[in-house]
């Protein structure tokens, strides 16, 4: 019985070492990006992204916790606007602040996640007009990037973070498309 326990312990230690070695070889940064074409000009789409109060109408995280507590700064749109949230295990707790918002082409947001894991990332929305003015279409890209500490690297050896976060981005962009194309 002692030999079996020792073998199991050795295998477990080896598995942990292998996961750590794989994790340490991953990049020190990460990025997740999704894009969608929306049949609307950037000027119509931009306010939904730039005004943090409007996020409740399209953000995929709103559906993950409808009872989430939200706090908005006095100014809800443009540079300096702040949105703080505290929710269930699906959305956690955090804060976002618009750092830059050159209308109607881009919104850059500082994301600070506090729970369930701490993380400090940047989200960028870019709106690029496509086609001609008679049928305005805009490519909207949602990008999140930031540092990948060891814990993130370890998690990414067993979970596909790009798919998990990317699926949320795709859902949010689809919601944004439905709103903007009305």
Query: Sign of the CA dihedral 49, 54, 58, 63?
Result: positive
How confident is the model over 83-93, as a mean pLDDT? Answer: 93
Q: What are phi and psi for residue 145, nearest 5 degrees? A: -145, 160
Tell me the C-alpha distance between 90 and 152, whole Å: 17
Give the chain's radius of gyration (CA, Å).
20
CA distances 85 to 20, 72, 96, 107, Å, are 33, 9, 9, 19
pTM as predicted:
0.85
Give 4-46 pLDDT, tens digit per residue. 888 888 899 898 888 878 777 788 888 999 999 999 999 999 9
Cis peptide before 116 (omega within 30 of 0): yes
Greater model confidence, 75 or 1: 75
Q: What would the pLDDT profile of 143-170 be if each residue is shown by its tens digit?
A: 999 988 778 777 777 778 888 899 999 9
The per-residue pLDDT for 52 is 97
CB 171, CB 58: distance < 8 Å:
no
Distance CA 128, CA 138 (A): 5
| 28-180, CATH topology level | Alpha-D-Glucose-1,6-Bisphosphate; Chain A, domain 4 (3.30.530)
DSSP 129-142: EES-TTS-EEEEEE
Long-range contacts of 111-114 (CB under 8 A, 24+ apart): 111/144, 111/146
Rounded distance between C-alpha atoms, residue 152 and residue 162, angstroms: 12
Q: What does the alpha-carbon distance between residue 18 and residue 100 come to, in Å, rounded to a whole number?
A: 42
Residue with tokens 């312990």: 9
Alpha-carbon span 75 to 66, nearest angstrom: 23
Measured between alpha carbons, how far is 59 from 168 in angstroms, rounded to an integer? Answer: 9
């Amino acid at each position: 019985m002692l030999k079996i326990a020792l073998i199991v312990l050795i295998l477990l230690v080896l598995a942990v070492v292998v996961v750590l070695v794989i994790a340490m070889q991953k990049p020190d940064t990460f990025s997740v990006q999704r894009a969608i074409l929306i049949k609307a000009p950037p000027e119509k789409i931009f306010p939904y992204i730039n005004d943090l109060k409007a996020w409740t109408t399209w953000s995929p995280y709103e559906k993950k916790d409808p009872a989430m507590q939200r706090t908005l700064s006095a100014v809800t749109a443009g540079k300096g606007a702040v949105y703080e949230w505290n929710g269930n295990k699906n959305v956690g707790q955090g804060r976002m602040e618009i750092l830059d918002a050159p209308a109607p082409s881009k919104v850059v947001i500082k994301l600070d996640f506090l729970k369930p894991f701490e993380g400090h990332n940047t989200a960028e929305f870019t709106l690029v007009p496509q086609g001609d003015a008679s049928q305005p279409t805009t490519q909207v890209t949602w990008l999140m990037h930031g540092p990948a500490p060891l814990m993130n690297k370890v998690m990414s050896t067993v979970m596909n973070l790009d798919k998990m976060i990317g699926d949320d981005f795709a859902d949010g962009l689809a919601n944004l498309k439905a709103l903007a194309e009305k």
